[in-house]
Amino acid sequence: MTTHALKEWAVAVDALEQGKTILLLRKGGIRERGKSFSVAHRQVLLYPTYEHQQPHLLKAEYAHRVEPVPSGWHPPAVRIIVWAEITHVFRVLERDRVLALLPYHIWTLDFVTERLQWQPDSPLYVLLLRTYRLRQQCIIPYQPKYGGCKSWIDLAESIDLDTANPSLSETEYPDRVTCIRRILEVDGEHNPFQRV
């Protein structure tokens, strides 16, 4: 069981849940603790957000799934259907390595460029997530403490986690991890709570 949740665009949560991607790119929200992104929990619920989703920042396959909403909008209740084990966290500064990851995520070159240009001296974090569908979706009421530009929230109630419904098989997930690690030129074992 956990209350820990990572906020991410709803379209990205769907792609992770469907096994279309295993990769998120983060620099952190404006209101991050310590003013920078960090990973404090290995197992997290994925909390879908809508406010900052922009169709032009998504590949065509995903852009049509997004309808922009007004600033500050949120649904009165949030549907939690997936949780993730964060298996790898990489800090990347080199633009060419980030661009080489384009086939492995849902965003456009414009999105990646924006992320690299915002606080250009700060690394871009590449998170690899093994996702699992919850046996039963959870509908939780929105609370003001869940809002704002931050990556991490703690839900008011714990949700049970299980590993019965992985989005990718025992062979598919490691194969994708290997491809991404080759691009990032990372060898050997990796602790997701170490900075690379």
Q: What is the CA radius of gyration of the chain?
A: 16
pLDDT at 15: 98
For residue 194, being part of any structural domain is answered with no
Residue at 28 is within a domain: yes
Percent of the chain with pLDDT over 90: 71
Model pLDDT, residue 195: 40
Whether pLDDT at 28 is above 50 = yes
Q: Tell me, yes or no, whether 75 lies in a domain.
A: yes
Residue 29's pLDDT band (cuts 50, 70, 90):
low
Q: What is the 3-state secondary structure (H, E, C) of the chain?
A: CEEEEEEEEHHHHHHHHCCCCCEEEECCCCCCHHHCCCCCCCEEEEEEECCCCCHHHECHHHHCCCCCCCCCCCCCEEEEEEEEEEEEEEEECCHHHHHHCHHHCCECHHHHHHHHHCCCCCCEEEEEEEEEEEEEEEEEECCHHHCCCCCEEEEEEEECCCCCCECCCCCHHHHHHHHHHHHHCCCCCCCCCCCC
Structural domain contains residue 67: yes
Q: Is residue 113 part of a domain?
A: yes
pLDDT, position 194 = 44
Q: Considering the domain boundaries, does residue 191 fall inside one?
A: no
- Please state the domain count of the chain: 1
> How far, in Å, are 8, 10, 17, 110 from residue 141 at the CA level?
17, 16, 21, 34
Q: Which domain holds residue 107?
A: 2-184
Model confidence at 189, in pLDDT bands (50, 70, 90)? very low
Q: Is 174 a residue whose pLDDT tops 70?
A: yes
Lowest mean pLDDT among 32-36, 44-48, 80-84, 170-174: 32-36
Sequence-distant (6+) residues with CB within 8 A of 82 are 13, 16, 17, 45, 46, 131, 132, 133, 134, 167
- pLDDT on residue 88: 96
CATH number at 78 reads: 2.30.130.30
Residue 22: inside a domain = yes
Asked if the structure places residue 189 within a domain, the reply is no
